[in-house]
Structure 1
Amino acid sequence: MAMADNRQRYMPLPDDRLSGRGQALAYPEAVLLVNPVEPDLKGEVDDKYQYSCDNKDSQVHGWICTTDQPAVGFWMVTPSNEFRSGGPVKQNLTSHVGPTTLAVFLSAHYTGEDLVPKFSAGEAWKKVFGPVFIYLNCTMDGDEPLSLWEDAKQQMIIEVQSWPYTFPASDDFPKSNQRGNVNGRLLVNDRYVSDDNIPANGAYIGLAPPGNVGSWQRECKDYQFWTKTDINGYFLINDIRPGDYNLYAWVPGFIGDYQYSAAITITPGSEIEVGDLVYEPPRNGPTLWEIGIPDRFAAEFYVPDPNPKYINKVYVNHPDRFRQYGLWERYAELYPNEDLVYTVGTSDYKKDWKIDTNKYQGTTWQIRFKLDNVDQGSSYKLRVAIASATFSELQVRINDPKANPLFSSGLIGRDNSIARHGIHGLYWLYNVDVLGKLLVQGDNTIFLTQPRSSSPF
């Protein structure tokens, strides 16, 4: 199975998941291989969620069969994400034991009910899913089997460049000359970082149905068109289906979401230039401290080593090591007596801020920091961006762990990202007003409590 240059493996067989060969783990999709047909796989975990992928990165995946010669490749190519729900960072399944190859258009995985389409009585709706491209190839004399993966990547590029396809006869699938284009430039205005506007390098920018700021990540009934800005913030979105849209964006390194103030209407053949767009991240003053990177992913934080009994060899010493099974169990081992305490200026979020929660009981993390001066009459702002939540609640207290919460999110999240080995689900951003009278000159502590404990996830 191959789905990326660094995500490839010789896969277990369906029989390896049967009783006697496989041992069920915390949920049916995860199986420990105790007596596999291929002895080298003994002791590994097989779990289809370990091969999930963001829409933006899931354009080709598939299988190579070396049982017969020449070796044969079977590949699923998705040339466009316009018909996929949830935007570029929505995660979906790709391949898993079977051998199973998937082209997922619509799924509640890593999001929950928000991405289940809901229809009112009598509501008319239609949508074109696909086309997708199934590609078969085989080796020539002397070729290595993995050359088929390289060939499949090249074919994927050809299919992406061929989009939108010309062969669909349906009037509901507009050809390229029946679509429109949008171009412009995105800049960031953060007066506490630079006096000048900053080019939004590598920002995700796209058109999605009209809605509120950030609503695109919960949109699941229509079409979305996304791209990334270049180093100078310029972008071009091609081949947009006719319709009414909002323009949305988010910039790695800057918290929050951008939404263009005006609606955009695409008509056949339209060329729309929006010029320089300026995103002003939420600001109330200079940053006193920051933990992590505001990029919607939690990958920069500490990811513990997996239990040696539950290893997938693909993810040993791998950037996606968070996809190892059972990491949620490690928190109680790392913190047997007390929860996490993070001291600003001393702690290192790459080592000292964990990504998973305790099991079966609520947790309270502490952020300790010093203030040289406090303006008792002013209000400070605590911004908390959450990459994933599952039946969770965030409570915030300042300097008194037994006080009534200064803020509570209420029950949020059904994305199950932890159980599905994901580093993110839906993005949540909370802005908490902290009155200066709650702070003191010198040592202060913020208490972050997740009080719910219905399951280990």
Structure 2
Amino acid sequence: MEKLGCKKQWHLVFWCLVLVLPLFLIAECSVTERTRWNPASTSEQLRSFPPVKLHGRHDTHVVLDNGLVKLTLGNPGGMLTSIEYNGMDNILEHRNKETDRGYWDVIWSEPGEHGHGNILSGLHGTSFQVIGEDDNQIEVSFSRRWNPSDNNSTVPLNSDKRYILKRGCPGFYTYTILERLEGWRDINLPAVRLAFKLQGSRFHYMALSDDRQRTMASPEDRRAGKVLGYKEAVLLPDSVNPAIKGVDDKYQYSCDNKDNRVHGWISSDPQVGFWVITPSYEYRSAGPVKQELTSHTGPTSLAVFISGHYSGKDLNVFFRDGEPWKKVFGPVFVYLNSGSGGDNHQTLWQDAKEQMLVETQSWPYNFPLSKDFPHAHQRGTVSGRLMVRDRYISRELIPARSAYVGLAPPGELGSWQKDTKGYQFWNQTDDEGNFLIRGVRAGNYNLYAWVDGVIGDYKYETDIQITPGSEIRLADLVYHPPRNGPTLWEIGIPDRSAAEFFVPDPDPKLKTRLSRSNSDKFRQYGLWARYTDLYPDQDLVYTIGSSNYKKDWFFAHVNRRANDIYEPTTWQIIFHLGNIEYTGTYTLRIALASANGAHVKVWMNRDPNTTRRLFSTSLVGRDNAIARHGIHGLYWLYSVDIPASYLQSGRNTMFLQQSSPSSPFSGVMYDYLRLEGPPRSS
């Protein structure tokens, strides 16, 4: 009897395990509903998932399906018309035209005064091809070849759009190859991007960092609002949800390339997350601190590779004299995850971040089939150590801690920040200044660097040639930052940003909840106008020794508004010197974090209204970072020699004037200012 009772108990336990355990596992896996996806998974590891299927290769639409995700693409155009996932029949906005849901496009123009304006051109394919197909992976191509006899309205580029669906993958990969052949006509290429427009009735919550995530306004809210200083900025109506009141402007959600790894949207019913993951920024223009758009009201999610955002025309791509060119943009990973009800915003976001780390650690991928995308074994590495020598700080070499060190196409000092045609590879040093740059494409590069807390740029004097599989170890590199003499005073931190300076509270009517901690206070709309509010009659005066740049130095040197016109503003720096070395020359360093239609002039102990200036920049900058809520744009560094005769023992006054009054957005953001004394003998 005891044996029989025991047998019944085991039957009960068995059926509990059969019936209850799957429910428990489903509950435990309610976010991802799967083990963590890894792009390096083997075919054996993926055997439990359904094989990948391709349907409709001869129809007007092509369907890729792996049992988790189903993609529908127009044939041969290659526009993404539908993404099915987790019971949602189309994540994309089905009310839009099929060509306006998920797509690659470019903006281009012809040069010269007789050329037409910018043209938005979708990269519509004319030929469909299956590049690779088996149970574990399908890669398809939608390509178009340009014919020189085509009319002028067609962008003179070859394009090859690729989509990859892998077995067991809760998402898909996409990349595009753009090419120009030698002798093709000249063009400008201001923008290359990938865009997704999601179902507006479902996706309302946006996230791009731990701190920057929120419920977003809808297009209907924007249409009911008031357009402000430019069309992208709209003051939302009072009738909207108080949590989203304020200003909606897509530029409020920009971030640096180095931080632009994952962003996306969450639908509450059903609980689905849509995430654009960029595992590398090697194929984006202008290096790690180029600011770029991410996600914004639409709901829209972007991957932007080339643009003039926060730089202006300096970052347009200019092709002249029949220059040939080819570049691979991507792959980008579109990741999908899901929840089981309730408020899972943070759970889905954390899961997306973890997936981003997996993708980043797997870069460069070894599964894209284009010969133009080199796999890991076809790339090289560069390592070394960067040190700083500044004898006015230390007699010893100083390790360049947390410095950015990168490989970019050969050019002048600092040219990487304007490079748009090539690839760039960056990493940060450790506390000892050591760096390791992996996954570098074969080619010829210069090595560049800058050190947080140290003024200026570094460039290694010798070109670096990368070959497949090469491992290059450089001898210790030593950066000698610009320096003529000892520091007499300084304002700010040399970090290529104005974030450490005083950022005012916005106009209460315009205040917008953009982040949880208010860490990006500079993202608020209209801060440039607050200068006039704070300095209605007299300009900023900063006294060395008593003023505090965190409180007393306005983050942007802008114009003052008076009777609906804008007037130049002149700031003063008051400082005291002891005995003047009249046989020596003093040096003023001015580092700009941003410039937009600006003209900075400097006087020393002279009346700026009646005397000739000591120094003047040209009319510089088109980065528009002041209007677009950026705290930096392109970096500028000026060194000004000051004859000792311009100075005096005791009180001195330096005048800084921003003399271009063309708009409220004309001005500069200072990164750092330093006055150096004459050189000392060793």
Q: TM-score, with normalisation over the residues of structure 1?
A: 0.97
2:227 counterpart residue number? 24
Please give the alpha-carbon distance, in whole angstroms, between the structure 2 residues aligned to 1:358 and 1:310.
20
Please give the alpha-carbon distance, in whole angstroms, between the structure 2 residues aligned to 1:27 and 1:63.
25
- The answer to whether structure 1 residue 106 and structure 2 residue 317 are counterparts is no
The 3-state SS of whatever aligns with 2:532 is helix
Q: Which has the greater radius of gyration?
A: 2
Matched pairs, number? 452
- The answer to whether structure 1 residue 394 and structure 2 residue 596 are counterparts is no
Amino acid at match of 1:358: N
Please give the alpha-carbon distance, in whole angstroms, between the structure 1 residues aligned to 2:515 and 2:346.
19
CA RMSD, aligned part only? 1.2
Please give the alpha-carbon distance, in whole angstroms, between the structure 1 residues aligned to 2:510 and 2:281.
34
The 3-state SS of whatever aligns with 1:446 is strand
The 3-state SS of whatever aligns with 1:350 is helix
- The answer to whether structure 1 residue 363 and structure 2 residue 565 are counterparts is no
| Aligned-residue offset at 1:42 | 6.3
Question: 1:391-440 CA distances to partner (integer Å, 9 max, x unpaired)?
Answer: 00111111002321111111000000011000000000000000001111
Please give the alpha-carbon distance, in whole angstroms, between the structure 1 residues aligned to 2:619 and 2:478.
34
Are the structure 2 counterparts of residues 323 and 100 from structure 1 closer, same or farther at C-alpha, using a change threshold of 3 Å? same
Asked if structure 2 preserves the Cα contact closer than 8 Å seen for 1:33 and 1:41, the reply is no
Q: Which has the higher contact order (CA 8 A, sep 6+)?
A: 1
| Aligned-residue offset at 1:150 | 0.3
1:415 counterpart residue number? 623
Asked if structure 2 preserves the Cα contact closer than 8 Å seen for 1:205 and 1:227, the reply is yes
Identical counterparts, % of pairs: 61
| Aligned-residue offset at 1:145 | 2.9
Amino acid at match of 1:30: A
Asked if structure 2 preserves the Cα contact closer than 8 Å seen for 1:91 and 1:109, the reply is yes
Are the structure 2 counterparts of residues 141 and 364 from structure 1 closer, same or farther at C-alpha, using a change threshold of 3 Å? closer
The 3-state SS of whatever aligns with 2:382 is strand
| Aligned-residue offset at 1:144 | 2.4
Which runs of 5 or more structure 2 residues have no equivalent in the other structure? 1-205, 561-565, 666-682
Please give the alpha-carbon distance, in whole angstroms, between the structure 2 residues aligned to 1:165 and 1:317.
36
1:439 counterpart residue number? 647
Asked if structure 2 preserves the Cα contact closer than 8 Å seen for 1:315 and 1:323, the reply is no
| Aligned-residue offset at 1:275 | 2.2
The 3-state SS of whatever aligns with 1:290 is strand
Please give the alpha-carbon distance, in whole angstroms, between the structure 2 residues aligned to 1:242 and 1:362.
50
Are the structure 2 counterparts of residues 342 and 139 from structure 1 closer, same or farther at C-alpha, using a change threshold of 3 Å? same
| Aligned-residue offset at 1:295 | 0.5
Please give the alpha-carbon distance, in whole angstroms, between the structure 2 residues aligned to 1:143 and 1:445.
58
Asked if structure 1 preserves the Cα contact closer than 8 Å seen for 2:217 and 2:244, the reply is no
- The answer to whether structure 1 residue 15 and structure 2 residue 217 are counterparts is no
Please give the alpha-carbon distance, in whole angstroms, between the structure 2 residues aligned to 1:275 and 1:34.
61
Asked if structure 2 preserves the Cα contact closer than 8 Å seen for 1:23 and 1:31, the reply is yes
Amino acid at match of 2:525: Y
Please give the alpha-carbon distance, in whole angstroms, between the structure 1 residues aligned to 2:426 and 2:272.
33
| Aligned-residue offset at 1:317 | 5.0
- The answer to whether structure 1 residue 428 and structure 2 residue 630 are counterparts is no
Asked if structure 2 preserves the Cα contact closer than 8 Å seen for 1:205 and 1:248, the reply is yes
Please give the alpha-carbon distance, in whole angstroms, between the structure 2 residues aligned to 1:104 and 1:229.
27
| Aligned-residue offset at 1:143 | 6.9
| Aligned-residue offset at 1:26 | 0.7
The 3-state SS of whatever aligns with 1:278 is strand
1:167 counterpart residue number? 367
The 3-state SS of whatever aligns with 2:660 is coil
Amino acid at match of 1:209: P
- The answer to whether structure 1 residue 377 and structure 2 residue 583 are counterparts is yes
1:346 counterpart residue number? 546
Amino acid at match of 2:474: V
The 3-state SS of whatever aligns with 2:252 is helix
Amino acid at match of 1:13: S
Amino acid at match of 2:345: P
Are the structure 2 counterparts of residues 13 and 370 from structure 1 closer, same or farther at C-alpha, using a change threshold of 3 Å? same
Amino acid at match of 2:508: P
Asked if structure 1 preserves the Cα contact closer than 8 Å seen for 2:213 and 2:515, the reply is no
Indicate which of 230, 236, 239 corresponds to 1:33. 236
Please give the alpha-carbon distance, in whole angstroms, between the structure 1 residues aligned to 2:553 and 2:384.
38
Instruction: Map residues 189-208 of structure 1 onto 2, 5 A cutoff.
Output: 189-208=389-408
Please give the alpha-carbon distance, in whole angstroms, between the structure 2 residues aligned to 1:203 and 1:150.
28
Write out the 4+ residue segments of structure 1 that deviate beyond 3 Å after TM superposition: 140-143
| Aligned-residue offset at 1:166 | 1.5
- The answer to whether structure 1 residue 137 and structure 2 residue 337 are counterparts is yes
Please give the alpha-carbon distance, in whole angstroms, between the structure 1 residues aligned to 2:343 and 2:660.
55
Asked if structure 1 preserves the Cα contact closer than 8 Å seen for 2:244 and 2:513, the reply is no
Instruction: Map residues 21-420 of structure 1 onto 2, 5 A cutoff.
Output: 21-36=224-239, 38-41=240-243, 43-66=245-268, 68-69=269-270, 71-140=271-340, 144-315=344-515, 317-356=517-556, 357-359=558-560, 360-400=566-606, 401=608, 402-420=610-628
Asked if structure 2 preserves the Cα contact closer than 8 Å seen for 1:43 and 1:309, the reply is no
Question: 1:358-417 CA distances to partner (integer Å, 9 max, x unpaired)?
Answer: 241111111110001101121000000000010001111110023211111110000000
Q: TM-score, with normalisation over the residues of structure 2?
A: 0.65
Question: 1:118-139 CA distances to partner (integer Å, 9 max, x unpaired)?
Answer: 1112110110000100000001
The 3-state SS of whatever aligns with 1:113 is helix
Please give the alpha-carbon distance, in whole angstroms, between the structure 2 residues aligned to 1:313 and 1:258.
39
Please give the alpha-carbon distance, in whole angstroms, between the structure 2 residues aligned to 1:424 and 1:455.
18
Asked if structure 2 preserves the Cα contact closer than 8 Å seen for 1:315 and 1:324, the reply is no
Asked if structure 2 preserves the Cα contact closer than 8 Å seen for 1:35 and 1:42, the reply is no
Are the structure 2 counterparts of residues 412 and 127 from structure 1 closer, same or farther at C-alpha, using a change threshold of 3 Å? same
Please give the alpha-carbon distance, in whole angstroms, between the structure 2 residues aligned to 1:187 and 1:288.
24
Amino acid at match of 1:129: F
Please give the alpha-carbon distance, in whole angstroms, between the structure 2 residues aligned to 1:219 and 1:123.
16
Of residues 39-48 and 290-299 in structure 1, the stretch that sits farther from structure 2 once superposed is: 39-48
Please give the alpha-carbon distance, in whole angstroms, between the structure 2 residues aligned to 1:17 and 1:433.
51
Are the structure 2 counterparts of residues 277 and 32 from structure 1 closer, same or farther at C-alpha, using a change threshold of 3 Å? same
| Aligned-residue offset at 1:167 | 1.8
The 3-state SS of whatever aligns with 1:131 is strand
Please give the alpha-carbon distance, in whole angstroms, between the structure 2 residues aligned to 1:128 and 1:30.
33
Please give the alpha-carbon distance, in whole angstroms, between the structure 2 residues aligned to 1:317 and 1:156.
23
| Aligned-residue offset at 1:312 | 1.3
Which runs of 5 or more structure 1 residues have no equivalent in the other structure? none
Please give the alpha-carbon distance, in whole angstroms, between the structure 2 residues aligned to 1:42 and 1:238.
42
Of residues 289-298 and 136-145 in structure 1, the stretch that sits farther from structure 2 once superposed is: 136-145
| Aligned-residue offset at 1:35 | 4.5
